[in-house]
Chains A and B, each alone.
Chain A
């Protein structure tokens, strides 16, 4: 039972979120140096209210793990997990504790790193707060996991009214994101939005050019690779029947384009709101072609070579390095984005039906 639980809850969580973790790691340790982390959290530990920002981010992560576990239990393929309820309470709580710690490991490790530096500086109040919060996170996760298993009869909440107009196909995935992956969407949009607003506000403070905004866009788009994984698995798990439909390249590609428009609508609106004065609003169009181009290329890369799903995070890393080089050499965003769209269109036209999701 322990092996099954670990495989379906812990291993699967990290497997499905490799893209998310790599992008977070890339931003946290490739862009921000470890010394900057230390300086930042030492400041936070000396000024406890600032510590609340850390706790807020950690809470989002706890929500993400809880959402994943609930999602796994509710998935038809994993209903057997409810048999875990038959295990004696003591053993079950021990397993939950171990699973909670395993899922929260990245933030617990970060908290430990902070505490280690705190001990050196004798910041005992801050260490105490971090330790208490860490314990609280583990306990909260454990309690909610136990509640999930006790509520095996709870029906999945779905709307109770009858809709008299059919939901358009491009919205199938958007609904899936909002209903089943709201926390992933929230975290992705929070990060991406914060980075975009950050670069837009930073722009007038020095002699920067459009490249600064472009770097923000690059990072913001790469953060969305987690959604790409969801997009691909959703299509192959729930909408396999679509591959039996006579949808022409134009129809398929138009649906994908509409989905990209909807996914990146918040970023487009943010750009309109925060775009620094000297930059033309035409830049927003370029920005959309660029960020959606990255997403389209990532999704279609997985269609072309399904095993790439596991490597999406690696692509994110290389994408960041190559994208950065292109931006620094002032290659126009429309050209980069346009090339990525052409690649996606080529795959969609010629390789789409060769895509197959093979479970390990």
Chain B
């Protein structure tokens, strides 16, 4: 599903993460690592938001640099700590992303209702709590018809009911053929989600670890 070749990301010439070879099979994958290990950097690279050395292929067909539009149409990403201009509303952001990601009719309303943002989504972001912001970011991550969705710390700052709804959404989308990369310091084994594999970022690289 996802094939990473000779990946290297450096900031100010200092290597942050190096992944010589990685093949991710379809499924739900859990990426772990201490703060600053490079989880978000890896996710952002896969999402095409950061430049890097190497290649990232989706389904051995689309490469992030060679097929920028086709790749981004199929790979979604929700930020861990989203930051949006305070005068925009979730409605502005969601409408824009939904159009760009070619979201099917009705998907926006469905997500807005599932994550319960109907009451505030037309209000400016400047009035939101961190949980409301997080829900907005999660909705952006689910829009369109993606092959892969990456959710960075999807369970933080949201209430218990929203956690259950997000897990349900992940499960529902996965049953429809969407693959997931999730990062979290929380233990997914405590939720109803079934992880297919787990990886850890340490020593500036990504290693598979056994799910205990």
Say whether B86 faces chain A, with CB atoms less than 8 Å apart. Answer: yes
Say whether B123 faces chain A, with CB atoms less than 8 Å apart. Answer: yes
Taking a contact as CB atoms under 8 Å apart, the answer to whether A358 and B48 are in contact is no
Say whether B179 faces chain A, with CB atoms less than 8 Å apart. Answer: no
Say whether A72 faces chain B, with CB atoms less than 8 Å apart. Answer: no
Grouping DSSP codes into helix (H, G, I), strand (E, B) and loop, the A interface class, with mixed when no group exceeds half, is loop
Rounded to whole angstroms, the CA-CA distance of A169 and B98 in the bound complex is 12
Taking a contact as CB atoms under 8 Å apart, the answer to whether A158 and B96 are in contact is no
B87 partner, pick from A179, A248, A355, beta carbons under 8 A: A179
The 8 A CB mask of B81-101 against A (1 = contact, 0 = none) is 011111111011001110011
Say whether B2 faces chain A, with CB atoms less than 8 Å apart. Answer: no
Say whether B177 faces chain A, with CB atoms less than 8 Å apart. Answer: no
B85 partner, pick from A238, A247, A353, beta carbons under 8 A: A238
- Count residues of chain B with CB under 8 A from any CB of chain A: 41
Say whether B193 faces chain A, with CB atoms less than 8 Å apart. Answer: no
Q: What size tier do the contact residues of chain A reach?
A: 20 to 34
Q: Measured between C-beta atoms, what is the minimum distance from B120 to chain A in Å?
A: 9
Q: A158-B86, A159-B124, A167-B92 are in contact. Are A244 and B51 (CB under 8 A)?
A: no
Rounded to whole angstroms, the CA-CA distance of A169 and B84 in the bound complex is 13
Taking a contact as CB atoms under 8 Å apart, the answer to whether A244 and B77 are in contact is yes
Q: Contacts of A76 on B, CB cut-off 8 Å? A: 83
Q: Contacts of B72 on A, CB cut-off 8 Å? A: 244-247
Taking a contact as CB atoms under 8 Å apart, the answer to whether A244 and B70 are in contact is no
Listed residue (A164, A176, A238, A358) with the most chain B CB atoms within 10 angstroms of its CB: A238
Taking a contact as CB atoms under 8 Å apart, the answer to whether B51 and A172 are in contact is no
The 8 A CB mask of A207-245 against B (1 = contact, 0 = none) is 000000000000000000000000000100111110111
A175 partner, pick from B73, B87, B140, beta carbons under 8 A: B87
Q: Contacts of A166 on B, CB cut-off 8 Å? A: 91-92, 95-96
Taking a contact as CB atoms under 8 Å apart, the answer to whether A162 and B86 are in contact is no
The 8 A CB mask of A179-212 against B (1 = contact, 0 = none) is 1100000000000000000000000000000000
Taking a contact as CB atoms under 8 Å apart, the answer to whether B85 and A175 are in contact is yes
Say whether A56 faces chain B, with CB atoms less than 8 Å apart. Answer: no
Q: A166-B91, A166-B95, A356-B50 are in contact. Are A241 and B79 (CB under 8 A)?
A: yes
Say whether B76 faces chain A, with CB atoms less than 8 Å apart. Answer: yes
Q: Measured between C-beta atoms, what is the minimum distance from B74 to chain A in Å?
A: 8
Q: Which residue of A lies closest to B67 (CB)?
A: A246
Question: Which A311-360 residues have a C-beta within 8 angstroms of B?
Answer: 353-356, 358
Question: Which A145-191 residues have a C-beta within 8 angstroms of B?
Answer: 155-156, 158-159, 162-164, 166-167, 169, 172, 175-176, 179-180
The 8 A CB mask of B12-40 against A (1 = contact, 0 = none) is 10000000000000000000000000000
Q: Contacts of A248 on B, CB cut-off 8 Å? A: 69
Rounded to whole angstroms, the CA-CA distance of A158 and B96 in the bound complex is 20
Q: Which residue of A lies closest to B84 (CB)?
A: A238
Taking a contact as CB atoms under 8 Å apart, the answer to whether A245 and B100 are in contact is yes
Taking a contact as CB atoms under 8 Å apart, the answer to whether A243 and B12 are in contact is no
Taking a contact as CB atoms under 8 Å apart, the answer to whether B69 and A247 are in contact is yes
Q: Contacts of A237 on B, CB cut-off 8 Å? A: 83
B65 partner, pick from A175, A238, A353, beta carbons under 8 A: A353
Q: Measured between C-beta atoms, what is the minimum distance from A304 to chain B in Å?
A: 12
Taking a contact as CB atoms under 8 Å apart, the answer to whether A158 and B124 are in contact is yes
Rounded to whole angstroms, the CA-CA distance of A241 and B97 in the bound complex is 9
Q: Which residue of B lies closest to A360 (CB)?
A: B12
Q: Contacts of B86 on A, CB cut-off 8 Å? A: 156, 158
Rounded to whole angstroms, the CA-CA distance of A353 and B68 in the bound complex is 8
Q: Contacts of A179 on B, CB cut-off 8 Å? A: 87
Interface residues of B (CB under 8 A from A): 11-12, 44, 47-51, 65, 68-73, 75-77, 79, 82-89, 91-92, 95-97, 100-102, 122-124, 126-127, 140
Interface residues of A (CB under 8 A from B): 76, 155-156, 158-159, 162-164, 166-167, 169, 172, 175-176, 179-180, 234, 237-241, 243-248, 353-356, 358
- Closest 6 A/B residue pairs (Cβ): A166-B95, A162-B122, A158-B124, A246-B73, A246-B72, A158-B126
Excluding A241-B77, A246-B73, A246-B100, 11 further A-B contacts by CB distance (< 8 Å) are: A163-B91, A166-B92, A166-B96, A167-B88, A175-B88, A238-B85, A244-B47, A246-B69, A246-B71, A247-B72, A358-B11
